[in-house]
Structure 1
Amino acid sequence: MKGFKEFILRGNVIDLAVAVVIGAAFTALVTSVVTNIFSPIISAIFRANSFDKLWVVSIPLTAGTADIKFGAVVGAIINFVIIAAVVYFVFVLPINAMMKRAFQQPAEPTADVPAPPTELDLLAQIRDLLQGDQQVGDKRIIRQD
């Protein structure tokens, strides 16, 4: 029983449960948009209530007929494309735009101040000082002992 309790209370299981519930609600929302808005438009364009009845090819067999329903396949493809478009343009694109605006970093003002020396420049200066050379501007002054 202890192992089961640890399994249920593990963060991954709870996250997965939340994802399933949100996914089911999201599926209902997208299905409603497609069924109530886009499907009637497509039915009006093709003058049919259902794609299942369009483009049916009957093949006679010895024991009846076999129906190949090209319309049902085309309808499924169209529904898939519509659902993908609705999800992208109605949900993903606006949410990505909002996230971009919310987490956008303000641009840093550019100044005419020269960039600070890099670590490599500082190490080269230290090396030169240890060797006895000193650099002033563009001229190098060599220590004379």
Structure 2
Amino acid sequence: MKGFRDFILRGNVIDLAVAVVIGAAFTAIVNQIVSAVINPAIGALFRADSLDTALPVTIPTTEGGEATMYFGAVIGAVINFLIIAAVVYFVLVLPVNKLRERQAAKKGIAEEEAGPTETQLLSEIRDLLAEKK
């Protein structure tokens, strides 16, 4: 039981739970924006009521019937994803990163300088070995 309690009380587990709840609530907002604003605008461009019925492609089936694929629905899903990713980045990730940078600057923590690359290290080793010969 102690191990389970330690696991649950870890900061990253609670952060993850909060992120899931916020993400679910945020998804409803983004879905509404996409369905009420973006889908009608793009649907008008493709002369369809919404992206779900835009760009239909009908193909014959082996039974003699037809199957219809709606590429507009895929485009709508991609747009939905891009909007969610952009909003999450600009509303959450970017401000939090800036806040962390400011806090680090206040504490006097400088960014670590990048060390030598692997190629530079191998060149130095090669030069040292050459000097020993």
TM-score, L = length of structure 2:
0.55
Larger Rg: 1
Alpha-carbon distance change, 97 to 18 in structure 1, aligned in 2, over 3 angstroms? closer
The structure carrying a bigger strand percent of its residues is 1
Q: Distance in 1 between matches of 2:47 and 2:34?
A: 18
Q: 1:30, 1:83 within 8 Å by CA — same for their partners in 2?
A: no
The structure carrying a bigger helix percent of its residues is 2
Alpha-carbon distance change, 87 to 33 in structure 1, aligned in 2, over 3 angstroms? farther
Alpha-carbon distance change, 29 to 51 in structure 1, aligned in 2, over 3 angstroms? closer
Of 82, 92, 100, which residue of structure 2 is paired with 1:84? Answer: 82
**Structure 1 stretch 75-84 or stretch 28-37: which is displaced more?**
75-84
Identity rate, percent: 42
Q: Distance in 1 between matches of 2:37 and 2:50?
A: 15
TM-score, L = length of structure 1:
0.51
Stretches of structure 1 that go unaligned for 5 or more consecutive residues are 106-145
Shift of 1:92: 3.8
Q: Does 1:60 align with 2:61?
A: yes
Corresponding residue of 1:8: 8
Cα deviation per residue 1:58-80 (whole Å; 9 max; x = unaligned)? Answer: 31313x535140xx234322441
Q: How many residues align?
A: 101
Q: Distance in 1 between matches of 2:15 and 2:95?
A: 25
